[in-house]
Chains A and B, each alone.
Chain A
Amino acid sequence: MTRHLLSVADLDDDALRSVLSTATEMHDVQHRAVKKIPTLRGRTVINLFFEDSTRTRSSFEIAGKWMSADTINITGKGSSASKGESLRDTVRTIAAMGVDAIVMRHQASGAAHQVADWFDESGVATSVLNAGDGTHEHPTQALLDAYTLERRLGSLEGKRIAIVGDITHSRVFRSNVLALPRLGAHVTVVAPPTLMPSGVTAWAAADGFALADDLDEVIDSGVDALMMLRVQRERMAGGFFPTPREYTVGYGLTRDRLAALTAHNPDAVICHPGPMNRGLEIAADAADAASSLVLDQVSAGVAVRMSVLYHLLASDGTVEGADLRREGRATKGSHA
Protein backbone atom coordinates (compact mmCIF):
# COMPACT_ATOMS: atom_id res chain seq x y z
CA MET A 1 0.00 0.00 0.00
CA THR A 2 1.33 3.41 -0.88
CA ARG A 3 1.11 6.41 1.43
CA HIS A 4 -1.86 7.62 -0.62
CA LEU A 5 -5.13 5.84 -1.39
CA LEU A 6 -6.24 7.13 -4.76
CA SER A 7 -7.54 3.94 -6.32
CA VAL A 8 -8.39 0.42 -5.25
CA ALA A 9 -5.45 -0.55 -7.44
CA ASP A 10 -3.16 1.05 -4.82
CA LEU A 11 -3.92 -1.91 -2.55
CA ASP A 12 -2.08 -5.14 -3.19
CA ASP A 13 -3.85 -8.35 -2.21
CA ASP A 14 -2.40 -8.40 1.31
CA ALA A 15 -3.34 -4.78 1.90
CA LEU A 16 -6.86 -5.31 0.54
CA ARG A 17 -7.41 -8.28 2.83
CA SER A 18 -5.80 -6.47 5.77
CA VAL A 19 -8.05 -3.42 5.32
CA LEU A 20 -11.16 -5.61 5.32
CA SER A 21 -9.96 -7.68 8.30
CA THR A 22 -9.09 -4.59 10.30
CA ALA A 23 -12.51 -3.11 9.51
CA THR A 24 -14.10 -6.08 11.28
CA GLU A 25 -12.31 -5.11 14.49
CA MET A 26 -13.08 -1.41 13.95
CA HIS A 27 -16.76 -2.26 13.57
CA ASP A 28 -16.71 -3.45 17.17
CA VAL A 29 -15.67 0.02 18.33
CA GLN A 30 -19.04 1.31 17.08
CA HIS A 31 -20.81 -0.90 19.62
CA ARG A 32 -18.69 -0.05 22.63
CA ALA A 33 -19.67 2.27 25.44
CA VAL A 34 -16.40 4.15 24.83
CA LYS A 35 -16.17 4.77 21.09
CA LYS A 36 -12.58 5.92 21.15
CA ILE A 37 -9.23 4.31 20.52
CA PRO A 38 -5.91 6.17 20.75
CA THR A 39 -4.38 4.88 17.52
CA LEU A 40 -4.15 8.20 15.65
CA ARG A 41 -3.67 10.51 18.62
CA GLY A 42 -1.71 13.54 17.47
CA ARG A 43 -2.57 13.12 13.77
CA THR A 44 -4.58 15.72 11.90
CA VAL A 45 -6.91 14.88 9.02
CA ILE A 46 -8.57 17.48 6.81
CA ASN A 47 -11.74 16.55 4.95
CA LEU A 48 -11.65 18.76 1.86
CA PHE A 49 -14.92 18.38 -0.04
CA PHE A 50 -15.60 20.30 -3.23
CA GLU A 51 -18.81 18.33 -3.79
CA ASP A 52 -21.76 17.78 -1.50
CA SER A 53 -21.66 14.69 0.67
CA THR A 54 -23.48 13.31 3.68
CA ARG A 55 -22.21 9.75 4.16
CA THR A 56 -18.61 9.94 3.05
CA ARG A 57 -17.73 13.19 4.76
CA SER A 58 -19.44 12.45 8.05
CA SER A 59 -18.13 8.88 8.18
CA PHE A 60 -14.55 10.05 7.53
CA GLU A 61 -14.99 12.63 10.28
CA ILE A 62 -16.40 10.08 12.72
CA ALA A 63 -13.69 7.57 11.77
CA GLY A 64 -10.96 10.07 12.47
CA LYS A 65 -12.50 11.23 15.74
CA TRP A 66 -13.05 7.70 17.02
CA MET A 67 -9.38 7.01 16.34
CA SER A 68 -8.41 10.15 18.29
CA ALA A 69 -7.22 12.10 15.25
CA ASP A 70 -8.08 15.79 14.98
CA THR A 71 -10.43 16.11 12.04
CA ILE A 72 -11.39 19.36 10.34
CA ASN A 73 -13.93 19.81 7.56
CA ILE A 74 -13.45 22.27 4.72
CA THR A 75 -15.95 22.60 1.89
CA GLY A 76 -15.25 24.14 -1.48
CA LYS A 77 -18.06 26.64 -1.01
CA GLY A 78 -16.72 27.81 2.33
CA SER A 79 -13.05 27.91 1.37
CA SER A 80 -10.92 30.40 -0.52
CA ALA A 81 -11.57 28.32 -3.64
CA SER A 82 -14.81 30.27 -3.88
CA LYS A 83 -12.68 33.42 -4.14
CA GLY A 84 -10.78 32.01 -7.07
CA GLU A 85 -7.92 30.23 -5.31
CA SER A 86 -6.55 27.36 -7.38
CA LEU A 87 -6.73 23.77 -6.18
CA ARG A 88 -2.94 23.65 -6.04
CA ASP A 89 -2.77 26.68 -3.75
CA THR A 90 -5.58 25.41 -1.58
CA VAL A 91 -4.01 21.99 -0.93
CA ARG A 92 -0.49 23.38 -0.55
CA THR A 93 -1.83 25.87 2.00
CA ILE A 94 -3.49 23.10 3.96
CA ALA A 95 -0.43 20.87 3.76
CA ALA A 96 1.77 23.74 4.95
CA MET A 97 -0.14 23.70 8.22
CA GLY A 98 1.38 20.29 8.91
CA VAL A 99 -1.64 18.05 8.46
CA ASP A 100 -1.07 14.33 8.10
CA ALA A 101 -3.77 13.57 5.56
CA ILE A 102 -6.21 15.25 3.21
CA VAL A 103 -9.39 13.36 2.44
CA MET A 104 -10.49 14.92 -0.80
CA ARG A 105 -13.63 14.86 -2.89
CA HIS A 106 -13.60 16.76 -6.14
CA GLN A 107 -15.77 16.98 -9.20
CA ALA A 108 -12.80 16.54 -11.55
CA SER A 109 -11.63 13.02 -12.36
CA GLY A 110 -7.98 12.62 -11.42
CA ALA A 111 -7.97 15.53 -8.96
CA ALA A 112 -6.74 13.39 -6.07
CA HIS A 113 -3.99 11.92 -8.24
CA GLN A 114 -2.93 15.41 -9.25
CA VAL A 115 -2.73 16.55 -5.62
CA ALA A 116 -0.74 13.45 -4.66
CA ASP A 117 1.66 14.12 -7.54
CA TRP A 118 2.15 17.71 -6.39
CA PHE A 119 2.88 16.52 -2.86
CA ASP A 120 5.27 13.82 -4.04
CA GLU A 121 7.14 16.21 -6.35
CA SER A 122 7.60 18.82 -3.64
CA GLY A 123 8.39 16.39 -0.83
CA VAL A 124 5.22 17.14 1.14
CA ALA A 125 4.57 14.29 3.59
CA THR A 126 0.78 14.67 3.66
CA SER A 127 -1.17 11.61 2.54
CA VAL A 128 -4.05 11.96 0.09
CA LEU A 129 -7.20 9.87 0.33
CA ASN A 130 -9.50 9.93 -2.65
CA ALA A 131 -13.06 10.29 -1.38
CA GLY A 132 -14.43 10.45 -4.92
CA ASP A 133 -13.06 12.26 -7.96
CA GLY A 134 -15.55 13.00 -10.70
CA THR A 135 -16.46 9.86 -12.59
CA HIS A 136 -13.14 8.18 -11.85
CA GLU A 137 -12.96 6.35 -8.50
CA HIS A 138 -14.30 6.14 -4.98
CA PRO A 139 -12.07 3.50 -3.38
CA THR A 140 -13.43 3.55 0.17
CA GLN A 141 -16.97 3.06 -1.17
CA ALA A 142 -15.85 -0.11 -2.96
CA LEU A 143 -14.06 -1.31 0.17
CA LEU A 144 -17.14 -0.80 2.32
CA ASP A 145 -19.32 -2.46 -0.32
CA ALA A 146 -17.02 -5.50 -0.33
CA TYR A 147 -16.93 -5.51 3.47
CA THR A 148 -20.73 -5.29 3.76
CA LEU A 149 -21.26 -8.05 1.21
CA GLU A 150 -18.71 -10.30 2.94
CA ARG A 151 -20.40 -9.80 6.28
CA ARG A 152 -23.76 -10.83 4.86
CA LEU A 153 -22.78 -13.41 2.23
CA GLY A 154 -19.57 -14.78 3.69
CA SER A 155 -16.67 -15.20 1.31
CA LEU A 156 -17.32 -13.55 -2.04
CA GLU A 157 -15.59 -16.41 -3.85
CA GLY A 158 -17.97 -17.45 -6.62
CA LYS A 159 -20.71 -15.03 -5.59
CA ARG A 160 -22.64 -13.40 -8.45
CA ILE A 161 -22.93 -9.65 -8.12
CA ALA A 162 -24.69 -7.39 -10.62
CA ILE A 163 -23.88 -3.68 -10.73
CA VAL A 164 -26.81 -1.90 -12.34
CA GLY A 165 -27.49 1.56 -13.68
CA ASP A 166 -25.57 4.66 -14.64
CA ILE A 167 -22.23 3.01 -15.33
CA THR A 168 -20.90 5.85 -17.47
CA HIS A 169 -20.85 8.35 -14.62
CA SER A 170 -20.18 5.95 -11.75
CA ARG A 171 -16.95 6.12 -9.79
CA VAL A 172 -18.46 3.55 -7.44
CA PHE A 173 -18.65 1.07 -10.32
CA ARG A 174 -15.07 1.81 -11.38
CA SER A 175 -13.74 1.11 -7.89
CA ASN A 176 -15.94 -1.92 -7.35
CA VAL A 177 -14.78 -3.71 -10.49
CA LEU A 178 -11.24 -3.32 -9.22
CA ALA A 179 -12.13 -4.83 -5.84
CA LEU A 180 -14.89 -7.43 -6.15
CA PRO A 181 -13.32 -9.69 -8.83
CA ARG A 182 -10.10 -9.81 -6.78
CA LEU A 183 -12.16 -11.20 -3.89
CA GLY A 184 -13.49 -13.95 -6.14
CA ALA A 185 -16.85 -12.46 -7.11
CA HIS A 186 -18.36 -12.85 -10.56
CA VAL A 187 -19.41 -9.33 -11.49
CA THR A 188 -21.90 -8.47 -14.22
CA VAL A 189 -22.41 -4.85 -15.18
CA VAL A 190 -25.91 -3.99 -16.39
CA ALA A 191 -26.85 -0.74 -18.10
CA PRO A 192 -28.59 0.66 -21.14
CA PRO A 193 -26.16 1.15 -24.01
CA THR A 194 -26.33 4.93 -23.55
CA LEU A 195 -25.02 4.59 -19.99
CA MET A 196 -22.18 2.17 -20.77
CA PRO A 197 -18.82 3.92 -21.16
CA SER A 198 -17.06 3.67 -24.51
CA GLY A 199 -14.42 0.95 -24.69
CA VAL A 200 -16.07 -0.98 -21.86
CA THR A 201 -15.81 -4.30 -23.71
CA ALA A 202 -12.02 -4.36 -23.67
CA TRP A 203 -12.06 -3.02 -20.13
CA ALA A 204 -14.40 -5.81 -18.99
CA ALA A 205 -12.12 -8.41 -20.50
CA ALA A 206 -9.09 -6.92 -18.78
CA ASP A 207 -10.64 -6.54 -15.32
CA GLY A 208 -12.73 -9.70 -15.41
CA PHE A 209 -16.35 -8.61 -15.40
CA ALA A 210 -19.26 -9.38 -17.71
CA LEU A 211 -21.57 -6.97 -19.53
CA ALA A 212 -25.33 -7.15 -19.96
CA ASP A 213 -28.12 -4.84 -21.04
CA ASP A 214 -31.15 -6.85 -19.88
CA LEU A 215 -31.68 -6.59 -16.12
CA ASP A 216 -34.53 -9.10 -16.07
CA GLU A 217 -32.34 -11.74 -17.73
CA VAL A 218 -29.61 -11.15 -15.18
CA ILE A 219 -32.08 -11.43 -12.29
CA ASP A 220 -33.60 -14.59 -13.79
CA SER A 221 -30.13 -16.13 -14.07
CA GLY A 222 -29.86 -15.85 -10.29
CA VAL A 223 -27.64 -13.35 -8.48
CA ASP A 224 -26.46 -13.09 -4.89
CA ALA A 225 -26.37 -9.31 -4.83
CA LEU A 226 -27.76 -6.41 -6.84
CA MET A 227 -25.84 -3.18 -6.53
CA MET A 228 -28.07 -0.38 -7.77
CA LEU A 229 -26.33 2.83 -8.79
CA ARG A 230 -27.73 6.32 -8.56
CA VAL A 231 -28.72 7.99 -11.81
CA GLN A 232 -26.39 10.99 -11.67
CA ARG A 233 -28.47 13.64 -13.33
CA GLU A 234 -26.08 16.36 -12.15
CA ARG A 235 -23.36 14.90 -14.40
CA MET A 236 -25.61 14.42 -17.41
CA ALA A 237 -25.46 17.04 -20.13
CA GLY A 238 -27.46 15.16 -22.74
CA GLY A 239 -30.34 12.75 -23.15
CA PHE A 240 -29.15 9.37 -21.89
CA PHE A 241 -32.68 8.01 -21.65
CA PRO A 242 -35.98 9.39 -22.93
CA THR A 243 -37.77 9.79 -19.60
CA PRO A 244 -37.18 8.80 -15.96
CA ARG A 245 -40.19 6.50 -16.23
CA GLU A 246 -38.61 4.65 -19.14
CA TYR A 247 -35.38 4.21 -17.20
CA THR A 248 -37.29 2.74 -14.27
CA VAL A 249 -39.18 0.34 -16.52
CA GLY A 250 -35.94 -0.91 -18.09
CA TYR A 251 -33.40 -0.71 -15.29
CA GLY A 252 -35.04 0.18 -11.99
CA LEU A 253 -35.33 -2.25 -9.11
CA THR A 254 -39.09 -2.23 -9.07
CA ARG A 255 -41.41 -4.15 -6.77
CA ASP A 256 -41.83 -6.84 -9.47
CA ARG A 257 -38.08 -7.20 -9.95
CA LEU A 258 -37.60 -7.40 -6.18
CA ALA A 259 -40.08 -10.29 -6.13
CA ALA A 260 -38.27 -12.01 -9.01
CA LEU A 261 -34.90 -11.52 -7.31
CA THR A 262 -36.13 -13.11 -4.10
CA ALA A 263 -37.93 -15.90 -5.95
CA HIS A 264 -34.73 -16.95 -7.71
CA ASN A 265 -32.57 -16.55 -4.60
CA PRO A 266 -34.21 -15.94 -1.19
CA ASP A 267 -30.83 -14.90 0.24
CA ALA A 268 -30.12 -12.29 -2.44
CA VAL A 269 -29.27 -8.83 -1.11
CA ILE A 270 -29.56 -5.27 -2.41
CA CYS A 271 -26.93 -2.56 -2.15
CA HIS A 272 -26.98 1.11 -3.05
CA PRO A 273 -24.17 3.57 -2.34
CA GLY A 274 -26.62 6.39 -1.72
CA PRO A 275 -28.08 8.87 -1.99
CA MET A 276 -31.03 6.99 -3.52
CA ASN A 277 -33.44 8.32 -6.10
CA ARG A 278 -36.44 6.44 -4.73
CA GLY A 279 -38.83 5.60 -7.48
CA LEU A 280 -36.20 6.03 -10.20
CA GLU A 281 -33.44 3.42 -9.86
CA ILE A 282 -34.87 1.75 -6.77
CA ALA A 283 -38.42 1.39 -5.48
CA ALA A 284 -39.15 2.23 -1.87
CA ASP A 285 -40.15 -1.40 -1.26
CA ALA A 286 -36.71 -2.53 -2.35
CA ALA A 287 -34.82 0.20 -0.51
CA ASP A 288 -36.57 -0.71 2.74
CA ALA A 289 -36.68 -4.49 2.25
CA ALA A 290 -35.14 -6.87 4.77
CA SER A 291 -32.65 -7.82 2.06
CA SER A 292 -31.54 -4.20 1.64
CA LEU A 293 -28.03 -3.55 2.97
CA VAL A 294 -28.19 0.21 2.44
CA LEU A 295 -27.89 1.09 6.13
CA ASP A 296 -25.39 -1.71 6.70
CA GLN A 297 -23.25 -0.01 4.06
CA VAL A 298 -23.48 3.29 5.95
CA SER A 299 -22.50 1.61 9.20
CA ALA A 300 -19.65 -0.23 7.49
CA GLY A 301 -18.45 3.05 6.02
CA VAL A 302 -17.18 4.23 9.38
CA ALA A 303 -15.41 0.94 10.15
CA VAL A 304 -13.78 0.71 6.73
CA ARG A 305 -12.64 4.34 6.84
CA MET A 306 -11.18 3.79 10.30
CA SER A 307 -9.29 0.86 8.84
CA VAL A 308 -8.05 2.88 5.87
CA LEU A 309 -6.90 5.77 8.09
CA TYR A 310 -5.11 3.26 10.29
CA HIS A 311 -3.32 1.68 7.34
CA LEU A 312 -2.29 5.03 5.90
CA LEU A 313 -1.38 6.99 9.01
CA ALA A 314 -0.37 4.57 11.77
CA SER A 315 2.46 2.72 10.08
CA ASP A 316 5.06 2.87 7.34
CA GLY A 317 2.44 1.93 4.74
CA THR A 318 3.43 -1.70 4.30
CA VAL A 319 1.46 -4.63 5.70
CA GLU A 320 3.06 -7.05 8.11
CA GLY A 321 2.74 -10.54 6.62
CA ALA A 322 -0.50 -11.66 5.07
CA ASP A 323 -4.03 -11.66 6.33
CA LEU A 324 -4.03 -13.10 9.83
CA ARG A 325 -7.22 -14.99 9.18
CA ARG A 326 -5.84 -16.90 6.27
CA GLU A 327 -4.99 -20.52 6.72
CA GLY A 328 -1.37 -21.49 6.38
CA ARG A 329 0.74 -19.01 8.25
CA ALA A 330 3.93 -17.81 6.71
CA THR A 331 5.82 -18.10 9.99
CA LYS A 332 5.54 -20.42 12.92
CA GLY A 333 5.97 -19.28 16.46
CA SER A 334 5.89 -15.90 18.16
CA HIS A 335 9.08 -13.96 18.50
CA ALA A 336 10.14 -11.54 21.17
Chain B
Amino acid sequence: MCPDSPPPQAPDQSPPNREVLSAGDISRALRRIAHEVVERNKGAGNVVLLGIPSRGVELARRLGALIAEIEGSEVPVGSLDVTMYRDDLRGRPTKTPHQTHFPSSGVDDRVVVLVDDVLYSGRTVRAALDALADYGRPRAVRLAVLVDRGHRELPIRADHVGKNLPTSHSERVTVRLTGHDDVDDSVTISRREG
Protein backbone atom coordinates (compact mmCIF):
# COMPACT_ATOMS: atom_id res chain seq x y z
CA MET B 1 0.00 0.00 0.00
CA CYS B 2 1.06 3.54 -0.49
CA PRO B 3 1.17 5.98 2.36
CA ASP B 4 -1.28 8.85 2.03
CA SER B 5 -0.35 12.36 3.09
CA PRO B 6 -0.77 12.37 6.84
CA PRO B 7 -2.20 15.40 8.60
CA PRO B 8 -0.17 16.65 11.58
CA GLN B 9 -0.76 14.58 14.71
CA ALA B 10 0.19 14.80 18.34
CA PRO B 11 3.45 13.01 19.11
CA ASP B 12 2.97 9.29 19.70
CA GLN B 13 4.19 7.69 22.92
CA SER B 14 4.35 4.09 21.67
CA PRO B 15 7.66 2.18 21.42
CA PRO B 16 9.64 2.89 18.24
CA ASN B 17 9.10 -0.52 16.58
CA ARG B 18 6.42 -2.80 18.00
CA GLU B 19 5.41 -6.20 16.62
CA VAL B 20 1.63 -6.42 16.52
CA LEU B 21 1.29 -9.70 14.64
CA SER B 22 3.74 -12.60 14.81
CA ALA B 23 4.11 -15.33 12.22
CA GLY B 24 1.75 -17.51 14.24
CA ASP B 25 -0.82 -14.70 14.52
CA ILE B 26 -0.71 -14.16 10.75
CA SER B 27 -1.11 -17.87 10.08
CA ARG B 28 -4.13 -18.09 12.38
CA ALA B 29 -5.70 -14.95 10.95
CA LEU B 30 -5.37 -16.26 7.38
CA ARG B 31 -6.86 -19.61 8.36
CA ARG B 32 -9.82 -17.83 9.94
CA ILE B 33 -10.29 -15.66 6.84
CA ALA B 34 -10.17 -18.77 4.65
CA HIS B 35 -12.97 -20.33 6.70
CA GLU B 36 -14.95 -17.06 6.56
CA VAL B 37 -14.67 -16.92 2.75
CA VAL B 38 -15.89 -20.52 2.43
CA GLU B 39 -18.73 -19.95 4.86
CA ARG B 40 -19.79 -16.68 3.28
CA ASN B 41 -19.92 -18.24 -0.19
CA LYS B 42 -21.32 -21.62 0.93
CA GLY B 43 -18.25 -23.29 -0.48
CA ALA B 44 -15.56 -22.01 -2.82
CA GLY B 45 -16.73 -23.25 -6.20
CA ASN B 46 -17.39 -19.79 -7.57
CA VAL B 47 -14.62 -17.89 -5.80
CA VAL B 48 -11.63 -16.19 -7.46
CA LEU B 49 -8.90 -14.69 -5.27
CA LEU B 50 -7.08 -11.65 -6.67
CA GLY B 51 -4.11 -10.34 -4.75
CA ILE B 52 -3.21 -6.67 -4.99
CA PRO B 53 0.57 -6.41 -5.50
CA SER B 54 2.83 -6.76 -3.99
CA ARG B 55 2.12 -8.55 -0.71
CA GLY B 56 -1.54 -9.06 -1.45
CA VAL B 57 -0.43 -11.56 -4.08
CA GLU B 58 1.43 -13.66 -1.53
CA LEU B 59 -1.52 -13.45 0.86
CA ALA B 60 -3.94 -14.50 -1.91
CA ARG B 61 -1.70 -17.46 -2.71
CA ARG B 62 -1.73 -18.55 0.92
CA LEU B 63 -5.48 -18.08 1.23
CA GLY B 64 -5.97 -20.13 -1.92
CA ALA B 65 -3.92 -22.98 -0.43
CA LEU B 66 -5.88 -22.82 2.84
CA ILE B 67 -9.26 -22.81 1.07
CA ALA B 68 -8.15 -25.73 -1.08
CA GLU B 69 -7.17 -27.56 2.10
CA ILE B 70 -10.60 -26.86 3.63
CA GLU B 71 -12.66 -27.62 0.54
CA GLY B 72 -10.51 -30.23 -1.13
CA SER B 73 -10.44 -28.46 -4.47
CA GLU B 74 -8.27 -25.75 -6.05
CA VAL B 75 -9.36 -22.11 -5.98
CA PRO B 76 -8.28 -19.81 -8.85
CA VAL B 77 -5.72 -17.25 -7.66
CA GLY B 78 -4.49 -14.24 -9.62
CA SER B 79 -3.11 -10.75 -9.20
CA LEU B 80 -4.51 -7.34 -10.03
CA ASP B 81 -2.13 -4.40 -10.32
CA VAL B 82 -3.82 -1.07 -9.69
CA THR B 83 -0.95 1.33 -10.43
CA MET B 84 -2.53 2.78 -13.58
CA TYR B 85 -5.82 3.36 -11.78
CA ARG B 86 -4.47 5.24 -8.76
CA ASP B 87 -5.58 8.82 -8.14
CA ASP B 88 -2.36 9.88 -6.44
CA LEU B 89 0.20 9.39 -9.22
CA ARG B 90 0.82 13.03 -10.01
CA GLY B 91 3.63 14.75 -8.16
CA ARG B 92 5.11 11.48 -6.88
CA PRO B 93 7.88 9.21 -8.16
CA THR B 94 6.84 6.88 -10.97
CA LYS B 95 5.72 3.49 -9.75
CA THR B 96 6.65 0.60 -11.99
CA PRO B 97 3.54 -1.57 -12.26
CA HIS B 98 3.51 -5.19 -11.18
CA GLN B 99 2.08 -8.00 -13.25
CA THR B 100 -1.65 -8.47 -13.55
CA HIS B 101 -2.55 -12.12 -13.94
CA PHE B 102 -6.06 -13.45 -14.22
CA PRO B 103 -6.92 -17.12 -13.82
CA SER B 104 -8.18 -18.77 -16.99
CA SER B 105 -11.65 -18.90 -15.41
CA GLY B 106 -11.86 -15.11 -15.70
CA VAL B 107 -13.97 -13.05 -13.34
CA ASP B 108 -17.33 -12.83 -15.12
CA ASP B 109 -20.13 -13.98 -12.83
CA ARG B 110 -17.58 -15.05 -10.20
CA VAL B 111 -17.25 -13.94 -6.60
CA VAL B 112 -13.97 -12.06 -6.60
CA VAL B 113 -12.20 -11.67 -3.27
CA LEU B 114 -9.63 -8.88 -3.46
CA VAL B 115 -6.76 -9.54 -1.07
CA ASP B 116 -4.42 -6.87 0.30
CA ASP B 117 -2.08 -6.55 3.21
CA VAL B 118 -3.12 -3.23 4.77
CA LEU B 119 -6.37 -1.31 4.38
CA TYR B 120 -5.82 2.38 5.11
CA SER B 121 -7.40 5.23 3.13
CA GLY B 122 -9.30 2.88 0.82
CA ARG B 123 -7.88 4.47 -2.30
CA THR B 124 -6.02 1.35 -3.38
CA VAL B 125 -9.23 -0.65 -3.15
CA ARG B 126 -11.11 2.03 -5.10
CA ALA B 127 -8.47 1.74 -7.82
CA ALA B 128 -8.80 -2.05 -7.74
CA LEU B 129 -12.56 -1.83 -8.22
CA ASP B 130 -12.06 0.44 -11.24
CA ALA B 131 -9.44 -1.91 -12.68
CA LEU B 132 -11.61 -4.95 -12.13
CA ALA B 133 -14.49 -3.34 -14.03
CA ASP B 134 -12.25 -3.13 -17.11
CA TYR B 135 -11.63 -6.87 -17.02
CA GLY B 136 -15.14 -8.18 -16.54
CA ARG B 137 -18.26 -8.20 -14.42
CA PRO B 138 -17.98 -10.28 -11.26
CA ARG B 139 -21.17 -11.40 -9.54
CA ALA B 140 -19.81 -9.89 -6.32
CA VAL B 141 -16.59 -8.33 -5.12
CA ARG B 142 -15.38 -8.78 -1.55
CA LEU B 143 -12.33 -7.56 0.28
CA ALA B 144 -9.99 -9.47 2.56
CA VAL B 145 -7.14 -7.68 4.34
CA LEU B 146 -4.55 -8.79 6.83
CA VAL B 147 -4.66 -5.47 8.72
CA ASP B 148 -7.26 -2.70 8.83
CA ARG B 149 -5.54 0.34 10.28
CA GLY B 150 -8.50 2.72 9.89
CA HIS B 151 -8.43 6.32 8.60
CA ARG B 152 -10.67 5.61 5.62
CA GLU B 153 -11.08 8.44 3.09
CA LEU B 154 -13.70 6.62 1.01
CA PRO B 155 -16.82 4.62 1.89
CA ILE B 156 -15.03 1.27 1.67
CA ARG B 157 -14.90 -1.51 4.23
CA ALA B 158 -13.34 -4.96 4.34
CA ASP B 159 -15.44 -8.13 4.50
CA HIS B 160 -12.68 -10.18 6.06
CA VAL B 161 -10.09 -8.66 8.42
CA GLY B 162 -7.12 -10.40 10.01
CA LYS B 163 -6.67 -7.72 12.64
CA ASN B 164 -8.23 -4.34 13.29
CA LEU B 165 -5.32 -2.15 14.30
CA PRO B 166 -6.07 1.33 15.64
CA THR B 167 -3.26 3.63 14.51
CA SER B 168 -2.45 7.28 14.20
CA HIS B 169 -1.40 8.89 10.92
CA SER B 170 2.04 9.42 12.43
CA GLU B 171 2.58 5.67 12.61
CA ARG B 172 3.77 3.29 9.92
CA VAL B 173 2.50 -0.27 9.58
CA THR B 174 5.04 -2.64 8.03
CA VAL B 175 4.12 -6.10 6.74
CA ARG B 176 6.77 -8.69 6.05
CA LEU B 177 5.96 -12.05 4.50
CA THR B 178 8.15 -15.07 3.98
CA GLY B 179 8.21 -15.86 0.29
CA HIS B 180 8.16 -12.17 -0.53
CA ASP B 181 10.67 -10.56 1.80
CA ASP B 182 12.87 -13.55 2.70
CA VAL B 183 12.26 -12.88 6.39
CA ASP B 184 9.79 -14.32 8.88
CA ASP B 185 6.18 -13.18 8.74
CA SER B 186 5.43 -10.17 10.91
CA VAL B 187 3.41 -6.99 11.15
CA THR B 188 5.10 -4.17 13.02
CA ILE B 189 4.09 -0.65 13.84
CA SER B 190 6.57 2.20 14.11
CA ARG B 191 6.81 5.96 14.18
CA ARG B 192 6.94 7.58 10.76
CA GLU B 193 10.25 9.25 10.06
CA GLY B 194 10.06 12.96 9.37
Contacts and interface: CB of A to CB of B under 8 A. Distances in A.
A26 B22 CA distance: 38
A335 B130 contact: no
Given A316-B91, A320-B96, A323-B96, A334 B134 contact: no
A39 interface: yes
Interface residues of B, number: 37
A290 interface: no
A193 interface: no
Contacts of A318: 93-94
B134 A36 contact: yes
A324 B98 contact: yes
Contacts of A38: 84-85, 130
Interface in A297-336: 310-311, 314-321, 323-324, 329, 332-336
B96 A319 contact: yes
B183 A332 contact: yes
Nearest to A323: B96
A315 B92 contact: yes
A36 B133 CA distance: 11
B113 to A, nearest CB: 19
Contacts of A71: none
A56 B92 CA distance: 28
Contacts of A21: 96-97
A318 B93 CA distance: 5
29 contacts: A21-B96, A21-B97, A24-B99, A25-B97, A32-B135, A36-B134, A38-B85, A67-B84, A314-B89, A315-B91, A315-B92, A316-B94, A317-B94, A318-B93, A319-B93, A319-B94, A320-B93, A320-B95, A321-B96, A323-B96, A324-B54, A333-B175, A333-B188, A334-B54, A336-B1, A336-B2, A336-B3, A336-B172, A336-B175
Given A25-B98, A37-B84, A333-B183, 9 more contacts: A18-B94, A25-B81, A310-B84, A319-B93, A320-B95, A321-B96, A333-B176, A333-B188, A336-B117
A75 interface: no
Contact of A25 (B99, B173, B175): B99
Interface in B129-160: 130, 134-135, 149
Contacts of B174: 333-335
A22 interface: yes
A36 B131 CA distance: 10
A28 interface: yes
B136 to A, nearest CB: 8
Interface of A: 1, 15, 18, 21-22, 24-25, 28, 32, 34, 36-39, 67, 310-311, 314-321, 323-324, 329, 332-336
Contacts of A335: 1, 3, 172-174
B172 A39 contact: no
Most chain A CB within a 10 A radius of its CB, from B3, B55, B92, B96: B96
Nearest to B147: A336
Contacts of A333: 174-176, 181, 183, 188
Contacts of B188: 333
Nearest to B101: A28
B175 A334 contact: yes
B97 A22 contact: yes
Interface in B78-106: 81, 83-85, 89-100
Q: Which are the 3 A-B pairs with shortest beta-carbon distances?
A: A336-B1, A320-B93, A336-B118
A318 B90 CA distance: 11
Contacts of B55: 334
Nearest to A1: B94
A42 to B, nearest CB: 10
B91 to A, nearest CB: 5
Contacts of B90: 314-316
Nearest to A324: B96
A32 B173 CA distance: 35
Nearest to A329: B181
B173 A310 contact: no
Contacts of A67: 84
A34 B96 contact: no
A75 B84 CA distance: 30
Nearest to B1: A336
Contacts of B135: 32, 34
Interface string B53-91: 011000000000000000000000000010111000111
B105 to A, nearest CB: 16
A321 B149 CA distance: 25
A305 to B, nearest CB: 15
Contacts of A320: 92-96
A324 B94 CA distance: 12
Interface string B167-193: 000001111100001110000100000
